[in-house]
Amino acid sequence: MSFVDGPVLAVAIDPGRLAAGIVDSDGEILVRDRVSTPPREVWRSLETLVSRVLAARPDDLPPPISVGVSCAGPLDLAAGSVTPELMPAWIGFALRDRLELLTGLPVVLDSAAGAAAEAERLFGDATEVRSFLTLMLGRTVESACVIDEVRLRGAHGNAGSLAHLTVEPDGLTCTCGASGCLSAYASSTSIEAEIKRPLRRATDSIIDRTGIMIGRAIASSAAMFEVSTFLLSGVVLDTFGDPLLESIRREVDLRSQLAASEKLRVLESSGFIRSLVAAASLPRSIDT
Ligand SMILES: [Zn+2]
């Protein structure tokens, strides 16, 4: 059975928002809805949202034939379960089984950054690039890595994650308990907790420091994975804009002195893959 010959029910879950929609095989979102992620009873909210989206399908649109779901990491792809950062209500939550039971459809689960990477390969900036890393700077830091057209997954599906890479020895305490992780400097949650004001009111020095920390993570992973294309997205990039990109590039230049790093590219994900389109690409990615 092909997963690509019909609409996909797309579900995208992060600590701030639950989104669901019906996406056709061209990547067009035909029905969509979303709610804020509640602190408790997350599944009940998601169940209601998904049922509402399925009920809103126009009569002339065939029903979805599969489900693609992306969730903030970390997750366990073998078990089909998720333990998203900043969502304490879900610890080892059996998301794939629950969605299969709810919809009666085959469900493909991946991390938010993994879904973005698959979508970039199918629709976005990375269709011509064999190796790249996606880095999403949102409420959490999410990343995924593709090398020679192969997605790194690891034992549980979290390989290529840069969130807890040390970028500042003895630095700020991270939510994971360690010090100096990228996540403690580059997620909107950690920045706002530190400056005690909204992201858009961050000072130039905070923006510069954020760029330096991201640049360190990029330079280290470029050296390790031999990846030269980094696709950045997320609310931190959207809010800080060009000054952040300039700081990142300056730090990457400073720290990447290897010959292979000469063509290191840091790109804003201009092909803007919305989270629902990314989730909808998951059934398609395993079909191709
Ligand atoms: Zn950490």
Res 255 pLDDT > 70: yes
pLDDT of residue 271: 46
Q: Which has the minimum average pLDDT: 54-68, 109-123, 217-231, 272-286?
A: 272-286
- Is residue 27 very low, low, confident or very high in pLDDT (cuts 50, 70, 90)? confident
Residues with a beta carbon under 5 angstroms from ion ligand 1: 164, 174, 176, 178, 181
> What rounded mean pLDDT belongs to the chain?
90
The secondary structure of residue 47, as a DSSP letter, is H
Between the CA of 178 and the centroid of ligand 1 the distance, in Å, is 5
Helix or strand run (H / E) with residue 51: helix 42-55
pLDDT of residue 286: 63
Between the CA of 164 and the centroid of ligand 1 the distance, in Å, is 4
- Kindly tell me the burial class for residue 203, based on how many C-beta atoms sit within 10 Å of its own C-beta (0-12, 13-18, 19 or more): exposed
pLDDT of residue 288: 43
Between the CA of 163 and the centroid of ligand 1 the distance, in Å, is 7
- Judged by DSSP in three states, 226 sits in coil
Q: Which residues contact 128 (CB under 8 A, 6 or more apart)?
A: none
Between the CA of 82 and the centroid of ligand 1 the distance, in Å, is 18
pLDDT of residue 266: 77
pLDDT of residue 285: 74
- Is residue 273 very low, low, confident or very high in pLDDT (cuts 50, 70, 90)? low
Between the CA of 175 and the centroid of ligand 1 the distance, in Å, is 6
Res 165 pLDDT > 70: yes
Res 196 pLDDT > 50: yes
- For the segment 178-195, the average pLDDT, to the nearest whole number, is 97
pLDDT of residue 272: 47
Res 261 pLDDT > 70: no
- Is residue 12 very low, low, confident or very high in pLDDT (cuts 50, 70, 90)? very high
Between the CA of 64 and the centroid of ligand 1 the distance, in Å, is 38
Between the CA of 181 and the centroid of ligand 1 the distance, in Å, is 5
Between the CA of 53 and the centroid of ligand 1 the distance, in Å, is 35
pLDDT of residue 3: 43
Between the CA of 140 and the centroid of ligand 1 the distance, in Å, is 11
pLDDT of residue 81: 98
Between the CA of 173 and the centroid of ligand 1 the distance, in Å, is 8
E strands within 50-177?
66-71, 75-76, 81-82, 107-111, 132-137, 141-147, 150-151
In terms of pLDDT, which residue wins out, 244 or 120?
244
Structural domains of the chain sorted by starting position, each given as residue range(s) with its CATH number in brackets = 8-115+274-287 (3.30.420.40), 128-268 (3.30.420.40)
pLDDT of residue 158: 92
pLDDT of residue 1: 35
Contact 256, 249 (CB under 8 A): no
Between the CA of 74 and the centroid of ligand 1 the distance, in Å, is 12
Residues making up the chain, counted from first to last = 288
Between the CA of 125 and the centroid of ligand 1 the distance, in Å, is 29
In terms of pLDDT, which residue wins out, 103 or 283?
103
- For the segment 140-161, the average pLDDT, to the nearest whole number, is 93
pLDDT of residue 30: 92
Between the CA of 17 and the centroid of ligand 1 the distance, in Å, is 22
Contact 237, 244 (CB under 8 A): yes
Res 287 pLDDT > 70: no
- Kindly tell me the burial class for residue 220, based on how many C-beta atoms sit within 10 Å of its own C-beta (0-12, 13-18, 19 or more): middle
